[in-house]
Chains A and B, each alone.
Chain A
Amino acid sequence: MAILELNNLSKAYGSTTALRNLTLSVEPGSVYGLLGPNGSGKTTTLGIALGVLRASGGSVRWFGQAPSASNRRRVGALLETPNFFPYLSARQNLLLAADVKHADPSTVDRALDVTGLGTRQHDAFKGFSLGMKQRLALASTLLGNPEVLVLDEPTNGLDPQGIAEVRGLVTRLAADGKTIIIASHLLDEIEKVCTHVAVLQRGDLRAAGPVHNILATADRVVLRPASDTSATTLQQALATLPWVSDVRPETAGSFSVALSAGQGSADLNRALFAQGIALAGLEVRHRSLEAQFLELTK
């Protein structure tokens, strides 16, 4: 059973379409990244899933059930900005959130410790820096030890050390078997922690699946023919292989190609050798998620 299923979700603000027929499924135990530039519909998607935005069409299911207050209590979520009462201290705000979540108030201390706010717990929220507000919002998501975490831009406002800490925290929570949904426009963040990714652009889903699949289709193989093989011969040989596409000339007589899923560089080497072509060099060039993202959102 999927943790979260979005079915044909749409959302319009007046004449602007923020989300168009989005269908996604988040499996238990995955770290699911929602990737997209600003305004791509990430926060809208999560807002609808968390019950604070009304969808124009489509449906949401949490844990196989229709959305309800009780299944939202199984989710710890940080959406867009840290939302707290400015005149209350960090601790008072967390105690209040624990009451709303029906969580044991004793989990407040642990949440404060994990996010490094223990020493500032009695200070009013309004005096906090952006980074500390973000830490408090993260602390709030951990109250009651929820099965699922939804983190929208969780490293906003954090310094490099804070970013690394959040990444460590997400990795630890994922290792504990929690399902984590992260929205971010920071590709590096997603690539380092996610098992699955969905790429959104202007409200449209451009790609979705396991990170390695999304990235694997982006890998290119660079081949350099031996000196006795002309470029034309090599190109003709490549053209006969149906699983080779997008042949591009590279520097120093090399070519780069994309391979269909299920085919590797060894298959390419074998196929070319069978046609009497020897290679002087063969290299798989891994593409970063960033390059793939730019390709998908071109």
Chain B
Amino acid sequence: MFRAELRKILPYRTVWIILALFIVLLALFVSAGGNVVLNGQQVGATLYTFPGLWQKLAYVASYFNLLLGILLVILITDEFQFRTFRQQVIDGASVAELLQNKLLVSGLLAAFGMLTVLGLGFYFGLTRAADTANQATVGITAVALYGVQVLGLLSLAALLAVLVRRSGPSILLFLLYAWVVEPLLRFSLPDELDRYLPAKIFNSLTPMPGQEVLDTMTGPSVALLPTQALPLALVYTAVFWGLSYFVLRSRDL
């Protein structure tokens, strides 16, 4: 069945445009970062030194995850718009298979995100801070945590796409939730609770670089540590895919 999924994706120009955009924007951002001037000094090569690079890159890349979310929303809502989910069920696919394929696609997108981060990390690290190359693999687990973050956000994107079925409103809802709804919720909830909200949990996987330094000055942050957030992020991901399955199964196609 997954071959069928590849037959849909590989010739689809929109997919390649969004993936290229992800690489180019992230590369430009990371490249431009070295030219930033702070307190009259160019940040320069210190930005690209291993082992801190991986955490910085994962944090920066997390801002571009929305592009991958939008892509998955498009791939799922297309199936409703073209009525191809309906046709595939008629042709002998089960609802579970339809979603398993999208789950695999989300896995591929997460792998793509991780590979992009790894590629850019090695490129910039080895070319602009070659003297730290002996520590190139230290802290590389940040990239794996970033991959889990992508998987988590994509599970939320998939749920919204299955619920709303139309690309425009789904994308809008996805952005609204990540940027407006959850921040507002966090505002009104006590700190002990808001750190368990899904977008917050996913964000906790790629903490802001230097958070530890800040913590020593301002007291420990309320956000969970990446290692604490990891199991919860996986639970949210599973729950969102489970809900998508439940919605798709209980409605007419």
Residues of A within 8 A of B (CB): 47, 50-54, 68-70, 72-73, 75, 77, 79, 81, 83-88, 92, 95-97, 99-102, 140
Is there contact, CB below 8 Å, between B93 and A100?
Answer: yes
Binds A, one of B79-87, B112-120, B155-163, B195-203: B79-87
The answer to whether B92 touches A52 (Cβ under 8 A) is no
CB of B82 within 8 A of CB of A86, answer: yes
Known: A52-B86, A100-B93. A85 touches B251 (CB 8 A): no
B91 partner, pick from A87, A88, A100, beta carbons under 8 A: A100
Which chain A positions have C-beta within 8 A of B90? Answer: 50-52, 72, 77, 79
Q: Please give me the residue from chain A that is nearest to B2 by CB atom.
A: A99
Contact with A along B1-31 (1 / 0, CB 8 A): 1011001100111000000000000000000
> Does B182 count as interface, using CB distance less than 8 angstroms?
no
Known: A52-B90, A88-B8, A99-B4. 13 other contacts (CB 8 A): A68-B94, A70-B92, A83-B82, A83-B83, A84-B82, A85-B8, A85-B84, A87-B11, A96-B7, A97-B87, A99-B7, A100-B91, A140-B91
Closest to B83 in A: A83
B88 at the interface (CB under 8 A from A): yes
A88/B11 in contact, CB under 8 A? yes
Q: Report if B176 contacts A (CB, 8 A).
A: no
Considering the chains assembled together, what is the distance between the CA atoms of A191 and B84 in angstroms? 32
A interface majority secondary structure: loop
A-B contact pairs, 18 of them (CB 8 A): A52-B253, A69-B89, A69-B93, A69-B94, A70-B92, A72-B89, A72-B90, A72-B92, A79-B90, A85-B8, A85-B84, A87-B11, A99-B4, A100-B4, A100-B88, A100-B91, A101-B92, A102-B92
User: Which of chain A's residues have a CB closer than 8 A to the CB of B84?
Assistant: 83-85
Q: Are B250 and A85 in contact (CB under 8 A)?
A: no
Residue B192 at the chain A interface, CB threshold 8 Å: no
Question: CA of A79 to CA of B87 in the docked complex: distance in angstroms?
Answer: 8
Residue among B1, B4, B7 with most chain A CB within 10 A: B7
By Cβ-Cβ distance, the 3 closest A-B pairs, closest first, are A73-B92, A99-B4, A83-B87
Q: How far is the CB of A81 from chain B (nearest CB, A)?
A: 7
CB distance from A68 to the nearest CB of B (A): 8
Q: What A residues does B251 contact at CB under 8 A?
A: 54
Complex contact A85–B252 (CB within 8 A): no
What residue in chain B is nearest A100 (Cβ atoms)? B91
Which A residue's beta carbon lies closest to that of B79?
A: A85
Determine if A53 and B87 form an interchain contact, defined as CB atoms under 8 angstroms apart: no
Q: Are A101 and B89 in contact (CB under 8 A)?
A: no
Residues on the B chain within 8 Å of A68, using CB: 94
Q: How far is the CA of A99 from the CA of B87 in the complex (A)?
A: 13
Interface residues of B in 69-117 (CB under 8 A from A): 78, 82-84, 86-94, 97
Distance between A88 CB and nearest chain B CB, rounded to angstroms: 6
Q: Check if B4 sits within 8 Å of A96, measured CB to CB.
A: yes
Q: By the criterion CB–CB under 8 Å, are B253 and A92 in contact?
A: no
Residues of B within 8 A of A86 (CB): 82
Q: Which residues of B contact A85 (CB under 8 A)?
A: 8, 78, 82, 84
Tell me which residues across on chain B come within 8 A of A88, comparing CB atoms.
7-8, 11
CA distance A85 to B86 in the complex (A): 12
Contacts of A77 in B (CB 8 A): 90-91
A21 to chain B, nearest CB (A): 20
Q: How far is the CA of A86 from the CA of B87 in the complex (A)?
A: 14
A96 to B5, CA, bound (A): 8
Alpha-carbon distance between A48 and B242 when the two chains are bound, in angstroms = 24
A residues in contact with B250, CB < 8 Å: 54
- In the docked arrangement, what's the CA distance between A95 and B8, Å? 10
| A69 and B97 form a contact (CB under 8 A) | yes
Whether the Cβ atoms of A95 and B11 lie closer than 8 Å is no
Contact B252 A52 (CB under 8 A): yes
Smallest Cβ distance from B24 to chain A, in angstroms?
23
Report the separation of the CA atoms of residues A84 and B91 in the bound assembly, to the nearest whole angstrom.
12
Report the minimal beta-carbon distance from B165 to chain A, rounded to whole angstroms. Answer: 14
Least Cβ–Cβ distance between A162 and chain B, in angstroms: 21
Once the chains are docked, how many angstroms separate the CA of A234 from the CA of B1? 72
CB of B14 to closest CB in A, whole Å: 8
Nearest CB in chain A: distance from B153 CB, A = 26
Q: Which residue of A lies closest to B253 (CB)?
A: A52
Q: How near does chain A come to B210, taking the closest CB pair, in angstroms?
A: 45
- For the complex, what is the distance from the CA of A68 to the CA of B4, rounded to whole Å? 20
When distances are taken between beta carbons in the complex, the residues of chain B under 8 Å from A84 are 82, 84, 87
Q: Are A53 and B253 interface neighbours, CB within 8 A?
A: yes
Contact, CB under 8 Å: B82 / A73: no
Q: How far is the CB of A86 from chain B (nearest CB, A)?
A: 7
Q: How far does the alpha carbon of A50 sit from the alpha carbon of B87 in the complex, in Å? A: 10
Query: CB distance B86 to A101 under 8 Å?
Result: no
A87 x B7 contact (CB < 8 A): no
Q: Is A96 a contact partner of B92 (Cβ separation < 8 A)?
A: no
C-alpha spacing A167/B84, complex, angstroms: 26
Q: Which residues of B contact A54 (CB under 8 A)?
A: 250-252
The reply to whether A101 and B252 form a contact with Cβ atoms under 8 Å apart is no
